[in-house]
Amino acid sequence: MPQLPEVIWKRRLESEFDEMKKSGVAFNVNEEKTDYRLRFVGEGVENSGNEIKKRFTHEVRILLRREFPYAGGVEVYWTTPIFHPNISKEGLVCIQLLKLWSPSVSVKNIADGLKQLLENPNPKDPLNKEAAEYFISLEKGTPKSIERKPRIV
């Protein structure tokens, strides 16, 4: 995978950090400025047993790998429980911005995309099929009940 020269990469990381400080998004970042922990407030849902309940605080982790800003250089994980068609049960996030990656995409762009994803789930392009079925049933006005499947260990 391509990589920026070290000096330019570090300058880019500083630029990303400066942009995030101005963004108004609540976050923490490690000293190297490669591991962002973002906090959002917005309505989402989580699957708690057989019950779907609302959740209003969310945390997301954005990892900038050495390949950043090139494709494959960013990993995004939802770290708080969420039941969402575009977020896997393990917290992997699927947003169009990551699929159509460009080196000009910033951490702030990703943060904005995550807020949009929370507000506008896309059950037609799911990572979590069970959540997609639930959201489609909501759109139809007939919320599907959630069954807890036994876990095989």
Active site residues: 94
Model pLDDT, residue 145: 58
pLDDT single digits (tens) 7-63 = 999 999 999 999 999 999 999 999 999 999 999 999 999 998 788 999 999 999 999
E strand or H helix at 16, and its extent? helix 6-23
Model pLDDT, residue 146: 56
> What is the mean pLDDT of the segment spanning 64-78?
96
- Cβ-contact 98, 68 below 8 angstroms: no
CATH superfamily of 6-140: Ubiquitin Conjugating Enzyme (3.10.110.10)
Model pLDDT, residue 147: 52
> What is the mean pLDDT of the segment spanning 84-98?
91
Model pLDDT, residue 97: 82
pLDDT higher for 13 or 94?
13
96 pLDDT band, cuts 50/70/90, is confident
11 token code pair: 């300058």
Q: Please tell me the distance from the alpha carbon of residue 36 to that of residue 27, in angstroms, as a whole number.
A: 7
Q: Please tell me the distance from the alpha carbon of residue 71 to that of residue 101, in angstroms, as a whole number.
A: 6
Distance from the first to the final alpha carbon of the chain:
36
- Cβ-contact 136, 125 below 8 angstroms: no
The whole-chain average pLDDT of the chain stands at 91
What are 60's strand-pairing partners?
Answer: 38, 78
Residue whose pair of structure tokens reads 């990303």 in the numeric block? 16
